[in-house]
Amino acid sequence: MRTPKLSRILATLAAVTLTALGAVAVNPAPASAAVRNVCYNTSQAGPFASYAVQAASIWNNRTNNINMAQCGSNLMIYYTYGGGSYAQRTSLGNGRVVIDYYQAQQYSPLRIMTHEIGHILGLPDNYNGNCAILMSGGSAGTSCTNPYPSTTEAARVDSLFGFAARSATPAQVFSGSWPAATVVGAGR
């Protein structure tokens, strides 16, 4: 087992234990640690809660410097009916993700969730239409279901969450990653 994976497991256990004891773990990793917890909350995610858990697992398995766990509210997950999916990052690893129910019926909900969490983890959009690039969002088309960040994208997240670069990303709202949902029967 690689050391970062063991650190991630220990960090998760510590965060879950603190939560069980009633304490809130907000980035409990010390400044010198390589792994930083990103505590997310799916209480408002409705039908997308399981996708958030899957997306967190994908990011945990693809990166070494973050540990995403349901241990607090650094990252809140919501859903809406219309208006588009988006992420609002308040600082690196903190903010909210909103998933549009109608969009998730056209595009892969897991890809949307993993993409939007990517913004919270510091990644910008990359509208190049390449399905292998997670941050290409909806530009890859409705047939693209790839929820995995590329090696380059994962390495960038690791770099951003590395010891020296933790405050390098400003607050930002990311919207428009996914084309507007079409309404069946519209214009008829």
Torsion of CA 12, 171, 119, 26, to 10 degrees: 10
Question: Could you tell me which residues come within 8 angstroms of residue 167 by beta carbon, excluding any fewer than 6 positions away?
Answer: 91, 92
CA distances from 142 to 106, 111, 115, 129, 147 (A): 6, 10, 14, 11, 13
CA distances from 76 to 39, 46, 50, 94 (A): 9, 12, 14, 8
Is 153 known to be catalytic?
Answer: no
CB 169 within 8 A of CB 89: yes
Helix 109-120 and helix 49-62, axial crossing angle in degrees, nearest 10: 60
Closest by CA position to 71, among listed 25, 29, 31: 25
Paired tokens of 80 = 């809406």
Number of helices (H), then strands (E), belonging to the chain: the values are: 4, 6
Catalytic residue from among 37, 112, 116, 136: 116
Closest by CA position to 92, among listed 115, 118, 58, 56: 118
Catalytic residue list = 116
